[in-house]
Amino acid sequence: MERLMVSQLKPSLLSVVSPAKPSQPLPTVEGLVQIFTASQRGFFTSVMSQALRLAGQGTTVLVIQFLKGGCQQGPDQPIRLGQNLEWVRLGVPNCLDTPQVDESSAIALKELWRFAIAAIDSGRYELVVLDELTLAVDFGLIAEAEVVELLRHRPQHVDVILTGPRVSESLLAIADQITELRRGSRY
């Protein structure tokens, strides 16, 4: 048989080379719950890199930073990074780093939490990053039981990444993947 390039094959030969298969819908891939934790700062860079990479590949991504303020953001003013990534920070002028917050910060945090619940429940985003949510839970600013409930009953296809330095046992038990970054000696 003479050697032909695929573009030179006749239609009758194509059916022999790649027989027609009935088209079937692609299976839905179940989303994962991932936790990134470290005793020191610096792991958000790798999470954000993953979010940007996936958004660049066409995945719809939402990044929510629960304890970072200062950008005049909030749920009503997301920043769009590219076509597929939205980024929302806490709608207060400062960052929260203690369990003692003023009333306006507590209200803004609850508003952001309701926004996160609605965004995940909508199924619009394929990946939702909940940055420092585990610390907000540890501070007692967001109820751990609500987070567990949300993760257990989210739409099947939604991936969720939680970050923070301290993670409760009940959140660790739900996680499909746990990444703990530790500092150690180089050798």
pLDDT tens-place string over residues 28-38: 678 999 999 98
pLDDT tens for each residue of 71-125: 777 787 788 888 999 999 998 888 888 899 999 999 999 999 999 999 999 999 9
Is the pLDDT confidence value at 146 over 90? yes
Calculated CA dihedral for residues 104, 65, 86, 77, nearest 10 degrees: 10
Share of the chain above pLDDT 90, in %: 58
Percentages of the chain per state (helix, strand, coil), in multiples of 5: 35, 20, 50
Burial track 13-22 (b if 16+ CB lie within 10 A, e otherwise): eeeeeeeeee
Inter-residue contact 80 to 120 (CB < 8 Å): no
Is the pLDDT confidence value at 55 over 80? yes
Assigned CATH class of 33-176: alpha beta
Distances from the Cα of 56 to the Cα of 50, 61, 127, 170, angstroms: 10, 10, 13, 33
Look up tokens 């719809």; give the residue.
60
Q: Give the pLDDT band of residue 187 (cuts 50, 70, 90).
A: low
Judge residue 60's burial from the number of C-beta atoms within 10 Å of its C-beta, 0-12 exposed, 13-18 middle, 19 or more buried: middle
User: Considering only CA atoms, which of 103, 112, 106 is closest in space to residue 133?
Assistant: 112
Domain limits, the chain: 33-176
- DSSP label of 79: E
Q: Give the pLDDT band of residue 10 (cuts 50, 70, 90).
A: very low
Number of H-type helices and E-type strands within the chain:
6, 7
